[in-house]
C-alpha cells in the first residue's frame, strides 16, 4: 500500500516537489538560489499585503500613509523595511539565478520552456519593482512616474493615447498613482502564478546539473538531502536580510519619507535601487527616444534567444575554458554597465556606456554562437585525434 | 501533448488564474479606502494630511506639467526635465529638492492670504471713503438742521 | 560436469562463499566533520585556484577600461584638462 503522502491529492503534490522529488547529486550551491527566490517572493507578497492594509494611493494620502505605517502601525517599520530591503535581495537572487542558468546552460533543450517563463518572470519583476517606487510618493515616485509616462509616449502611433489613459486625461483628480499601485499589487500575484508554471515546466525534466550531462544516472531524494541544503542558504539569507533590516535599513533604499522630518540627517544610501542600473545605462547609451526603449527591452528580450544562439553540443560551461572566460567578461561588463548607470552623462562615460552596450549585445549575438561553434570543432578534433 | 501533461497544464492554468483572482479580491477588500485610513491614523499624521493637502495637489499639478512636456518631447525617456533621477550622483533629498518646496509653497500661500486680507482692507477703506464722499456729495453746504 | 562440493581427496574445499553482508557504522556517522577543516582550507583553495584565471583576467580587463575612463573624466574636469574638455565635449 502506498503511503498517505503519495496518494493524498494535495500532499502528493508537495511530495513530488519537496520530498520524494529526485534531484541530481551533483547540483551545487548555486542551485539553492531558486528556493531563495521563492522565499523572497513570499516575503515580498506577505509584507506587501500588510503594508497595503495601511496604505492608500490617493494623492493626498500616499505620502502620509507611509508616515502612518512607520509611526502608528504596530511593527509597521519592520514590515516596510522588510519590503524595501527585500526588493534588493530579490534582485540579487534573481541575477545570481540567471547567471547560474547561463553558466550551467540550464536554458538549453529540454528546459527551454523553463527559461522562457523565467525571462518573463524577470521582466515582470522589474516592472513590479519599478512601480513600487511610484507608490511611496516622494521625489523618487515623481521621477518614476515621469519615466514610465515617457516610456509609453515613446511607443509609435498609440503612445499618446496610452499616456492620456495613464493620466486619466490629465484631470485634477488624476488616478495615476492609483493605477501604479493597483498594478504593483496585482503583478506579484501574476508573478506567483508564473512561478508555479516555472516549477511545473522545471519538473517535467528536473533540474539540470553542473556537469551538463544527464542527471538520471545519479539522483537522490529532495528530502532530506536538498531540503536541508536549501535551509543552509535560507538561514544565511535571513541572517543578512536581518542585518540590513535592523541595523541599516536605508542603505539599499531611498528614505524619501525623512525629508520633512529632518533634512540634515538623511542616512546615506549606497546606490539606491542599484538593480535597474545596467538597463538604465543601456537606455541612456542610445540617444534616440524610441531607440533607447528598444535597446533596453532588447537587452531583456535577447535572453529569450539564448537557447537558439548557443550552438554547443554540450550543456554548460564547466568544461569550456573559452566560454568561461567570455562569460565572466560578460558578467563584469554587466557590472560596469551598472556602474555607468549612476554616473553623469559626461565625456568618457558616454562612449564607455555605448561600448558596454555593444559588448552586452555582442556577447549574445556574436560571442556565444561563435565560441560555441568553435568549441564544437575543438571537441570533434579532440575525439578524432585519439 | 500527452493526456497527463495536458491535465497538469489545465490544472496549472486553473490554479494560477485563481491566484490572480485572489490578488484582485485582496486588492478590493484588504486595502482601506481613504476615509477608513484617515480614521485609522493618529491625530498627528491626520493633521499632516490636512496640512499637506493643497501642497500635494500643487505638486501633482507641477508633475503633470512636466510630464506633459517630457512626454511630448523627442528627448530620450530618461530626461525628466527638472526632476532629478535618484541615480544622479548629485541627487539630494532635501526639502528644497522636492517638486514643490514646502516652505516656498507655504510662504506663497501665506503671502496670498495676506494680499487677500490687504485687498479686503483696501476694499473696505475705499468703501468707507466712498460712503464719506457720497455723504459729502449729497450733503450741501447749506443745512437747515 | 560434476561439481565437487567437497573437493577431492587431499583437496578439501567448497565453492566460493557469496552474498556476505558486512555492516559497519559509516565513518561519516562516526565523525561527521572528519577532514572538514582541512578541506575547508585546501579543497577550497584548489577549487579557487582552478577557477581564478577565468574570472580574474576578465575582471582586470574590465576594470582597466573603467579605471582609464574614470581617470580621464577626472582629468577633463580639472584646470589642466579644461581645454581638452572644450575640444572633446560637443
List the one residue out of A315, A327, A316, A318 whose CA is nearest residue A368: A327
Residues of each annotated binding site of A for heme b = 83, 97, 184, 198
Residues 6+ apart with CB under 8 A from C23: none
- Tell whether A12 is covered by a domain: no
Q: A66-114: per-residue pLDDT in tens?
A: 889 988 999 999 999 999 999 999 999 999 999 999 999 999 988 999 9
The pLDDT value given to residue A121: 97
- Tell whether A376 is covered by a domain: yes
Task: Decide if B71 contacts B63 (C-beta within 8 A).
Answer: no
Q: Are residues A248 and A325 in the same domain?
A: no
The residue range of the domain holding A318 is 271-385
CB-based contact (8 Å) between A367 and chain C?
no
Q: Are residues A116 and A147 in the same domain?
A: yes
Select from A56, A186, A196 the Cβ nearest to the Cβ of B16. Answer: A196
Å between A134 CA and nearest CA of chain C: 32
Q: C14-62: per-residue pLDDT in tens?
A: 777 788 888 888 877 888 888 889 999 999 999 999 999 999 999 999 9
- Tell whether A212 is covered by a domain: yes
CB-based contact (8 Å) between C89 and chain A?
yes
Q: Is A74 left (phi over 0), alpha (psi -120 to 50) or beta?
A: beta
- Tell whether A30 is covered by a domain: yes
Give the count of domains, chain A.
2
**Strand pairing category for A219-221 and A22-24:** antiparallel
Please name every residue paired with A22 in a beta bridge, in sequence order, or none if there are none.
Answer: A221
Q: Are residues A192 and A131 in the same domain?
A: yes
Q: Are residues A307 and A158 in the same domain?
A: no
Cβ-Cβ contacts under 8 Å, A55 against chain B: 31-32, 37
The pLDDT value given to residue A266: 45
- pLDDT at residue C6 is higher than 70: no
Collapsing DSSP to helix, strand or coil, C10 comes out as coil
Q: Are residues A229 and A325 in the same domain?
A: no
CB-based contact (8 Å) between B56 and chain A?
yes
CA distance C66 to C57: 14
Q: Are residues A177 and A318 in the same domain?
A: no
The pLDDT value given to residue B141: 67
What's CA C86's distance to the chain center, in Å? 51
Q: Which of A285, A319, A332, A371 has the most C C-beta neighbours within 10 Å, making it the best mutation to test the interface with C?
A: A332
List the one residue out of A365, A359, A310 whose CA is nearest residue A335: A359
For B:72-111, CB contacts with A below 8 A are 72, 74-81, 83-90, 93-95, 97-99, 102
Determine how many CB atoms are found less than 10 A away from the CB of residue A76: 18
The pLDDT value given to residue A204: 87
Sorting pLDDT into bands at 50, 70 and 90, what band is B94?
low
Grid cell of A46 as nine digits: 506577505
First to last CA, chain A: 53
The pLDDT value given to residue A139: 78
Q: Is B61 left (phi over 0), alpha (psi -120 to 50) or beta?
A: alpha
The pLDDT value given to residue B55: 86
Q: Are residues A40 and A64 in the same domain?
A: yes
The pLDDT value given to residue A264: 43
- Tell whether A14 is covered by a domain: no
Q: Are residues A319 and A224 in the same domain?
A: no
- Tell whether A221 is covered by a domain: yes
**ipTM reported for the complex, 2 dp:** 0.87
Backbone dihedral angles phi then psi of residue A68, each to the nearest 5 degrees? -60, -45
Which of A245, A266, A287 is at the close of a domain?
A266
B90 or A50: which leads in pLDDT: A50
Mean pLDDT of B89-93: 71
CATH topology of domain C25-87: 1.20.5
**Per-residue pLDDT of chain A in tens (386 residues, 90 and over written 9):** 678 888 888 888 889 899 999 999 999 999 999 999 999 999 999 999 999 999 998 888 888 888 899 889 999 999 999 999 999 999 999 999 999 999 999 999 889 999 999 999 999 999 999 998 888 777 788 888 899 999 999 999 898 898 888 888 787 667 888 889 999 999 999 999 999 999 999 998 899 999 988 888 899 999 999 999 999 999 999 999 999 999 988 877 665 545 444 444 444 455 667 889 999 999 999 999 999 999 999 999 999 999 999 999 999 999 999 999 999 999 999 999 999 998 888 888 999 999 999 999 999 999 999 999 999 999 999 888 76
The pLDDT value given to residue A367: 96
List chains touching A (3+ CB pairs under 8 A).
B, C
> Cβ A352–C61 below 8 Å, yes or no?
no
List the one residue out of A80, A89, A81, A102 whose CA is nearest residue A39: A89
Task: Decide if B117 contacts A319 (C-beta within 8 A).
Answer: no
The pLDDT value given to residue C5: 63
The pLDDT value given to residue A183: 94
Q: Are residues A100 and A127 in the same domain?
A: yes
CA distance A154 to A148: 10
CA distance A22 to A12: 14
The pLDDT value given to residue C4: 53
> Cβ B93–A283 below 8 Å, yes or no?
no
List the one residue out of A162, B82, A271 whose CA is nearest residue A280: A271
Q: A267-313: per-residue pLDDT in tens?
A: 445 566 788 999 999 999 999 999 999 999 999 999 999 999 999 99
Collapsing DSSP to helix, strand or coil, A48 comes out as helix
Sorting pLDDT into bands at 50, 70 and 90, what band is C70?
very high
Which of A216, A231, A266 is at the close of a domain?
A266
Cβ-Cβ contacts under 8 Å, A163 against chain B: 71
Q: Are residues A228 and A174 in the same domain?
A: yes
The pLDDT value given to residue B109: 84
Indicate the average pLDDT of chain B.
85
Q: Are residues A180 and A301 in the same domain?
A: no
Determine how many CB atoms are found less than 10 A away from the CB of residue B45: 22
The pLDDT value given to residue A386: 66
Between chain A and chain C, how many beta carbons pairs sit less than 8 Å apart? 50
Q: Are residues A225 and A138 in the same domain?
A: yes
Q: What is the CATH number of the domain that holds A289?
A: 1.10.287.980
Collapsing DSSP to helix, strand or coil, A220 comes out as strand
CA distance A23 to A206: 7
- Tell whether A157 is covered by a domain: yes
The pLDDT value given to residue C16: 76
Mean pLDDT of B81-86: 82
Select from A186, A194, A288 the Cβ nearest to the Cβ of B24. Answer: A186
Which of A235, A251, A266 is at the close of a domain?
A266
Q: What is the CATH number of the domain that holds A181?
A: 1.20.810.10
Cβ-Cβ contacts under 8 Å, A345 against chain C: none
The answer to whether the peptide bond before residue B85 is cis (omega within 30 degrees of 0) is no
Cβ-Cβ contacts under 8 Å, A54 against chain B: 32, 37, 40
Side-chain half-sphere of A349: how many Cα atoms within 13 Å? 19
Task: Decide if A52 contacts B31 (C-beta within 8 A).
Answer: yes
Which sequence positions of A are flagged as catalytic? 203, 207, 229-230, 273
CA distance A365 to A346: 28
CA distance A343 to B89: 6
> Cβ B60–A151 below 8 Å, yes or no?
no
Å between C74 CA and nearest CA of chain A: 10
- pLDDT at residue B65 is higher than 50: yes
Task: Decide if A159 contacts A152 (C-beta within 8 A).
Answer: yes
Is residue A320 exposed (0-12), middle (13-18) or buried (19+ Cβ within 10 Å)?
buried
The pLDDT value given to residue A109: 87
Amino acid at each position: 500500500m502506498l503511503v498517505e503522502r503519495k496518494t493524498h491529492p494535495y500532499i502528493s503534490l508537495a511530495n513530488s516537489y519537496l520530498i520524494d522529488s529526485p534531484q541530481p547529486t551533483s547540483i551545487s550551491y548555486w542551485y539553492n538560489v531558486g528556493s531563495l527566490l521563492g522565499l523572497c517572493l513570499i516575503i515580498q507578497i506577505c509584507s506587501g499585503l500588510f503594508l497595503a492594509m495601511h496604505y492608500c494611493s490617493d494623492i493626498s494620502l500616499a505620502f502620509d500613509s507611509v508616515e502612518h505605517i512607520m509611526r502608528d502601525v504596530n511593527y509597521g517599520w519592520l514590515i516596510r523595511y522588510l519590503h524595501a530591503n527585500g526588493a534588493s535581495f530579490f534582485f540579487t537572487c534573481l541575477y545570481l539565478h540567471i547567471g547560474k542558468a547561463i553558466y550551467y546552460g540550464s536554458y538549453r533543450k529540454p528546459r527551454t520552456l523553463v527559461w522562457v517563463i523565467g525571462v518573463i518572470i524577470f521582466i515582470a519583476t522589474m516592472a513590479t519593482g519599478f512601480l513600487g517606487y511610484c507608490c511611496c510618493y516622494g521625489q523618487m515616485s515623481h521621477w518614476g512616474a515621469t519615466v514610465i509616462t515617457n516610456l509609453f509616449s515613446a511607443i509609435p502611433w498609440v503612445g499618446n493615447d496610452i499616456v492620456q489613459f495613464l493620466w486619466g486625461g490629465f484631470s485634477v483628480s488624476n488616478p495615476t498613482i492609483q493605477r501604479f499601485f493597483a498594478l504593483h499589487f496585482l503583478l506579484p500575484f501574476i508573478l506567483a502564478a508564473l512561478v508555479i508554471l516555472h516549477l511545473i515546466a522545471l519538473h517535467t525534466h528536473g533540474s539540470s546539473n553542473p556537469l551538463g550531462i544527464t542527471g538520471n544516472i545519479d539522483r537522490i531524494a529532495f528530502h532530506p538531502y536538498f531540503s536541508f541544503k536549501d535551509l543552509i542558504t535560507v538561514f544565511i539569507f535571513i541572517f543578512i536580510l536581518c542585518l540590513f533590516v535592523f541595523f541599516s535599513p536605508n542603505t539599499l533604499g531611498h528614505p524619501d519619507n525623512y525629508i520633512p522630518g529632518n533634512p540634515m540627517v538623511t542616512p546615506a544610501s549606497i546606490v539606491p535601487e542599484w538593480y535597474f542600473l545596467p538597463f538604465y545605462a543601456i537606455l541612456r547609451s542610445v540617444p534616440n527616444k524610441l531607440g533607447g526603449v528598444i535597446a533596453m527591452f532588447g537587452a531583456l528580450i535577447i535572453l529569450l534567444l539564448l537557447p537558439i544562439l548557443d550552438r554547443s553540443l554540450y550543456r554548460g560551461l564547466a568544461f569550456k575554458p573559452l566560454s568561461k572566460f567570455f562569460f565572466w567578461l560578460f558578467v563584469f561588463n554587466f557590472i560596469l554597465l551598472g556602474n555607468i548607470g549612476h554616473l553623469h552623462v559626461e565625456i568618457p562615460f558616454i562612449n564607455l556606456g555605448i561600448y558596454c552596450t555593444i559588448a552586452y549585445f555582442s556577447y549574445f549575438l556574436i560571442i556565444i554562437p561563435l565560441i560555441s561553434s568553435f568549441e564544437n570543432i575543438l571537441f570533434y578534433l579532440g575525439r578524432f585525434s585519439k | 501533448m500527452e493526456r497527463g501533461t495536458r491535465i497538469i497544464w489545465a490544472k496549472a492554468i486553473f490554479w494560477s488564474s485563481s491566484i490572480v483572482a485572489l490578488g484582485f479580491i485582496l486588492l478590493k477588500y484588504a486595502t482601506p479606502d481613504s476615509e477608513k485610513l484617515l480614521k485609522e491614523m493618529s491625530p498627528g499624521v491626520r493633521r499632516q494630511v490636512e496640512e499637506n493637502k493643497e501642497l500635494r495637489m500643487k505638486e501633482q499639478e507641477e508633475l503633470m506639467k512636466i510630464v506633459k512636456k517630457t512626454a511630448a518631447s523627442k528627448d530620450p525617456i530618461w530626461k525628466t526635465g527638472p526632476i532629478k533621477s535618484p541615480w544622479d550622483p548629485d541627487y539630494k533629498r532635501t526639502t528644497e529638492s522636492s517638486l514643490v518646496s514646502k516652505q516656498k509653497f507655504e510662504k506663497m500661500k501665506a503671502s496670498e492670504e495676506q494680499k487677500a486680507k490687504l485687498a479686503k482692507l483696501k476694499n473696505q477703506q475705499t468703501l468707507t471713503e466712498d460712503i464719506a464722499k457720497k455723504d459729502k456729495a449729497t450733503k450741501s453746504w447749506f443745512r437747515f438742521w | 560436469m560434476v561439481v565437487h562440493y567437497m573437493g577431492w581427496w587431499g583437496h578439501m574445499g567448497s565453492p566460493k562463499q557469496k552474498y556476505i553482508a558486512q555492516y559497519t557504522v559509516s565513518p561519516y556517522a562516526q565523525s561527521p566533520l572528519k577532514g572538514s577543516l582541512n578541506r575547508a582550507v585546501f579543497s577550497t583553495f584548489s577549487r579557487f585556484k582552478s577557477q581564478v584565471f577565468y574570472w580574474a583576467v576578465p575582471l582586470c580587463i574590465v576594470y582597466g577600461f573603467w579605471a582609464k575612463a574614470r581617470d580621464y573624466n577626472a582629468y577633463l574636469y580639472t584646470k589642466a584638462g579644461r581645454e581638452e574638455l572644450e575640444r572633446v565635449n560637443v
